[in-house]
Amino acid sequence: MTRTLTLLLVLVLLAGCAGIGSAPTATADPTPPPEATDPPEPTATLTAPPTATTEPLPSATPEATEPPAATATPDGAEGPGDGAGAVVAAWVRDGDLIVKRLPDGEEVALTDLGDVVEFPEFSPDGQLILFHRQGPVATVSPDPGAEVPTTTLWAVPVDGGTPRMVLDPLAALPAVPGSGALADDLYPSDAGRLAWLPGGFQVLFSSRFLTVNSALGNHDLWRLDLETGQLDELLPAGEGGRPTLSPDGEQVLLSAPEELAVARADGTERRTLLTFERVPTYSEWEWVPEPAWNDDGSLHVALAQPWQAGRPVTYTLLRLDPASGESQELGEVEVPWLHTPLWSPDGSRLAYIAAGSGLVMAGAGGEDPRLVAAGETSIPLAWSPAGTRLAFVREGQYCVAEAAGEDAEPLCVAPTWDAAVYWLDEETLVVMADAGEDQPQLQAIELPAGTATELWTAPGAPLYYDLYVGPQVGQ
């Protein structure tokens, strides 16, 4: 899901919430962390990892030159992805869902409802779009200001059809007792981040309860059939967590604030892989691990240690075998905030923000670090499919760094409008750029030259949108 927020929320989402293709956020000056307070005493038991390197990092590269201006694709001409795939945009305008095949397709309204509010999301095969409509307001306290807006979840085929409601969270999901004195003072729940099962018509999610200021996990597990609306509780509250499916869709990792577990995709054969101390965020959200599956069935996990606000966060880097439950500690890295390190798709490289230094590329365990961009405001966004390049944000610019070659300078390719990047292949990157006067424009960047081609000039803020990037679907 793609949404407009602040850059601080980008850090939050990348730390323990969204990934690429999920909610991007608007770029803004980073907000300083809160004043330091004493963290809770750690209770987790971990054997000591290898000592982090203390060797000085190679020097940062010089400032990048101004990115080239985007050129428009003439009507009828082939654009990036034509012949090999498709780029389709879906967004909310005036309370309805609009879709457009890029770069030269017609805009098509998929709904005539007037109350579509946010967060369209394509199915992985591009055949279906989910979206949210306004629901009733839930009152959680006698205080008139303590009201929580709710939404209902709907689906519509990308080629058109009758929209249908697939989930009414207020009616289908359990509410959580609130903090007021009334017996019916209950916080409503809704679906958290979705994990799509193979086939594209069923999703897993862990529900979260909505307060006036936040959304906190119930740490359960549900399966929703998007064709029939059938909703099944697979694991109760406290036994589930944010789902991450294995590449074959057979297993699911369950991330919770104090535990990482694994189960079959139907919720059976659940086993605990890790337990750890709850990590304070000093804010109204919960930190949970963001595990990454490897091709051999193992996974990488960056486990944050309890920390004190205003000081660096230590991440312990682990490699786990879900089948045996065995784990290997690879090393440690220090980052300036709760920003989860990012492994390349093959698991051989790691990108992270090194505390007091800047954006670093290293081996899978943090060994042999190389400084890519100085300054703690550089944010790694996404590796290319084969892991040969890294897209990141630096000082209001989208930039790309080569994984190989210590002397390769990052190429900054476009000014940021939000933090959304999509790799079409190793040589083509799609970004939502700022075309001037806060005008969002989707651009395809051809590498290594950095040539930009305009795909779509989007409506201005607030912009709720999603992109499908993949094989051609429908007509």
Eight-class DSSP state of 26 = B
**Whole-number pLDDT of residue 69:** 54
Q: Band the pLDDT of 142: cuts 50, 70, 90.
A: low
pLDDT over threshold 90, residue 289:
yes
When computed from its CA atoms, the radius of gyration of the chain, rounded to whole angstroms, is 22
Between 2 and 126, the more confident residue is 126
**1 vs 224, higher pLDDT:** 224
Phi, psi of 59 (to 5 degrees): -65, 150
Containing 9, the helix (H) or strand (E) segment is: helix 7-16
Q: Rank 7-16, 22-31, 317-326 by mean pLDDT and report only the highest.
A: 317-326
Torsion sign (Cα): 293, 294, 299, 302: negative
Residue written as token pair 């040969």: 388
User: CB 85: neighbour CB atoms within 10 A?
Assistant: 17
Q: What is the pLDDT of residues 158-198, one digit of tens each?
A: 999 999 999 999 999 998 876 555 556 678 899 999 999 99
Question: What pLDDT is recorded for position 50?
Answer: 34
Integer CA distances (angstroms), 125 to 128, 252, 267, in order:
8, 20, 24
| pLDDT > 50? residue 324 | yes
Is the per-residue pLDDT at 140 higher than 80?
no
Highest mean pLDDT of the ranges 20-29, 36-45, 462-471: 462-471
- Summarised one tens digit per residue, pLDDT across range 43-94 is 333 333 333 333 333 333 334 444 445 544 434 334 333 334 689 999 999 9
Whether residue 33 is predicted with pLDDT greater than 90 in this model: the reply is no
What is the residue whose two structure tokens read 């709850």?
278
pLDDT of residue 61: 38
Residue 371: strand, helix, or coil: strand
Cβ atoms of 100 and 88 closer than 8 Å: yes
Average pLDDT, the chain: 82
Return the amino acid letter for 457.
Answer: T
Is residue 109 predicted with pLDDT exceeding 50? yes
- 376 Cβ contact partners less than 8 Å away, ≥ 6 residues apart: 336, 353, 355, 356, 357, 358
pLDDT (0 to 100) of residue 186:
77
Contact 76, 129 (CB under 8 A): no
Q: Is the pLDDT of residue 202 over 90?
A: yes
Please tell me the predicted confidence (pLDDT) of residue 375. 86
Amino acid at 463: L
% of the chain exceeding 70 in pLDDT: 79
pLDDT higher than threshold 60 for residue 135: yes
Pairing state of beta strands 71-72 and 451-457?
Answer: parallel
| CA–centroid distance for 130 within its chain | 17
Per-residue confidence (pLDDT) for residue 136, from 0 to 100: 87
Tokens of 28: 């803004």
* Mean of pLDDT values over 94-118: 93
Q: Quick one: 213 exposed, middle or buried, by C-beta within 10 A (0-12, 13-18, 19+)?
A: exposed
pLDDT at 237: 95
Contact assessment for residue 210 and residue 174, using Cβ atoms and an 8 Å cutoff: no
Residue 138's pLDDT band, with cuts at 50, 70 and 90, is: confident
Contact 214, 285 (CB under 8 A): yes
Residue 157: which pLDDT band, with cuts at 50, 70 and 90?
A: very high
More confident site: 250 or 85: 250
- Return the bridge partners of 100, or none: 89
DSSP-assigned letter for residue 356? T
Residue 68 identity (one-letter amino acid): P
- What is the tens place of the pLDDT at every residue in 386-405? 999 999 999 999 999 999 87
- Put simply, whether the predicted model's pTM sits higher than 0.85 gets the answer no
